[in-house]
Structure 1
Amino acid sequence: MKPGILIISHGSRDGAWVRIVEEAVSGLPLCEEIPVAVSFLELVEGRLIQDGINKLEHGGVTDILVIPLFVSSGSTHVDEIEYALGAKAEPERETDLELFTVKARVHYGYPVDDDPDIAVMIWDKLREMSKDPARETILLVGHGSVHDGFRQRWQKGIGSLANRVREVSGVAAADYALLNPDSVRDKVEYWSGKGHDVLVAPLFLSEGYFTKVVIPRKLKGLTYRYSGKTLLPHPLLPHWIGNQVELLLRRVRGEGQAGLEQKK
């Protein structure tokens, strides 16, 4: 077995966005030397998912460890990519994404969801805005989904992550709001009504239209604190990716050993 790592993110026409993802991957702490390809779902010509697959397979990789670099398992992209890679038989929702050409075995990992490293990253981005934790609420704002099943996964993951952020930060409360279905303004008004200072944290990988325009527009006229700082860049993200890789490696090698035992 020769493993390779395929890290998949959404993609952007903004070259700075692409470089931020690449820089996070460049610091990947691995216990052994494994080839790595960074690919994007769309918008980055020559760096799409099929390009990443081809690069790894041309290097002799037999098992591709896929890390979906998305913030929630409630993302429809996470589901359609898993299907298009052949890691699941059918998508949960109709997709235009065509099946990729893959010869290697594919082992699909997990998105961010409520990982403890991510909670630390969020607090690091907010720490300088905190003045009186005993009367503050941190409000995580994520994209969300209007689709049944996906929406519930968004709610479960970001709700659990909010609890982790509260534990790490020591603030009075932590909560979440989604853009789809929209609950952002209601949540800020609710916590402000309880006498809390609200620190709004965008749960996005990098800055863009949603963090710069959509969220501030929804909160116009309200009292809150918002830095607009997203998860990246942050030195802990390579650590998170490294953990996902090690988990997949243990799973793959465990399956391989079990197969050998059955042949005996």
Structure 2
Amino acid sequence: MQASATPSSSFPSPIVRPGILVISHGSRDGGWVALVDEAVEAATIRLQQPAGPVPVVSSFLEIVEGRLIQDGVDELLERGVTDIFVLPLFVSSGATHVDDIMQAFGQPPAGLREGELEVFHVGGARIHPGRPIDDEPEIAELLLANIRELSRDPASEALLLIGHGSREPVFHGRWREGMTRMAERIRAAGGFARAETAMLLPDQAACKLSAMRRKRPDERVIVVPLFLSQGYFTTSVIPGRLSELEYEYNGRGMLPDEAVVRWMQRQMLQWLEQAGG
């Protein structure tokens, strides 16, 4: 893939007009889009530079017509931006969508897989990639708060974190590594006995939960979904995969929550400090 973007991790030009492009998946559910927009808007409150407010655009990989990634890039370019910080609002760096997006911005592929998106036209702007969630501490705190009402005695309880996952080796490994670190963060912070992880792709959830129940039948297991918001995967897929197995679950997603705002804002501010330095 030949990209027209100019990838960069530094600021060689003395004139830097920063802009931020937040990218999430997109949905036909207007409520889901509104949750993302509200979080992005809240994260921009402190984004001031000597030249004034930093332009921030919320865009989507697909479905949301008129607000796709190229639309967002075009809007930032129209506002005179020279450097674009691309913040992927995705759960894991193992998401192939994240690799597709970054390749289309001229970044190297995560593995041998070629990206599925057409190259974005960035008009000479420098591209600076941000990070998906993986095991960020703010989100670990959020997930722990989500499950506290389900817990009675953490020292005698186990956690099972369930994420979307991937069958592709490089991306499967990234999912596994990020989920494992996140599970340990939550386990340690909450004082739980142990924590395991499972993916929906490949289908691991029921097998992992069955093994946990067989090994320690008296141990309560709390299932923690790793999804941005409640929806099809949290309300239908996970309960359907786990079927008649015994577990505790409330299906809560990450949005809406101020922790997601703090996570985005931290990345934005760190990048702007670098831009101003």
TM-score by length of 1: 0.92
Number of the residue aligned with 2:6:
none
| CA 123–56 in structure 1, closer or farther in 2 if over 3 Å, else same | same
Q: Deviations over 1:181-206 (max 9, x none)?
A: 22111221222231211111110101
Amino acid at match of 1:206: S
Deviation at 1:89, TM superposition (A): 6.9
2:175 to 123, 144, 154: 154
User: Are 2:72 and 1:57 aligned?
Assistant: no
Deviation at 1:223, TM superposition (A): 0.6
Number of the residue aligned with 2:263:
240
* Aligned residues between the structures: 254
List aligned pairs for 1:198-213, cutoff 5 A. 198-213=221-236
Number of the residue aligned with 1:97:
117
User: Are 2:143 and 1:127 aligned?
Assistant: no
Q: What is the alpha-carbon distance in structure 2 between the residues aligned to residue 89 and residue 138 of structure 1?
A: 33
Amino acid at match of 2:182: L
Number of the residue aligned with 2:199:
178
The alignment-based identity, stated in percent, is: 48
CA contact (8 A) 1:35 1:56 kept: yes
TM-score by length of 2: 0.88
SS in 2 for 1:244: helix
Number of the residue aligned with 2:26:
11
Amino acid at match of 1:66: V
CA contact (8 A) 2:109 2:115 kept: no
| CA 90–175 in structure 1, closer or farther in 2 if over 3 Å, else same | closer
SS in 2 for 1:241: helix
CA contact (8 A) 2:40 2:261 kept: yes
CA contact (8 A) 1:107 1:252 kept: no
CA contact (8 A) 2:86 2:128 kept: yes
Number of the residue aligned with 2:42:
27
Number of the residue aligned with 1:66:
86
Unaligned runs of 5+ in 2: 1-15
Q: What is the alpha-carbon distance in structure 1 between the residues aligned to residue 121 and residue 58 of structure 2?
A: 17
Q: What is the alpha-carbon distance in structure 2 between the residues aligned to residue 178 and residue 96 of structure 1?
A: 23
| CA 90–197 in structure 1, closer or farther in 2 if over 3 Å, else same | closer
CA contact (8 A) 1:137 1:198 kept: yes
Deviation at 1:115, TM superposition (A): 0.7
CA contact (8 A) 2:99 2:109 kept: no
Q: Deviations over 1:155-187 (max 9, x none)?
A: 000000000011121111111111112211122
CA contact (8 A) 1:135 1:197 kept: yes
Unaligned runs of 5+ in 1: 255-264
Q: What is the alpha-carbon distance in structure 2 between the residues aligned to residue 90 and residue 136 of structure 1?
A: 36
Q: What is the alpha-carbon distance in structure 2 between the residues aligned to residue 252 and residue 196 of structure 1?
A: 50
Q: What is the alpha-carbon distance in structure 1 between the residues aligned to residue 112 and residue 31 of structure 2?
A: 33
Amino acid at match of 1:7: V
CA contact (8 A) 2:60 2:67 kept: yes
Q: Deviations over 1:201-230 (max 9, x none)?
A: 110101222111111011111110110101
RMSD over aligned CA atoms reads 1.5
Amino acid at match of 2:252: K
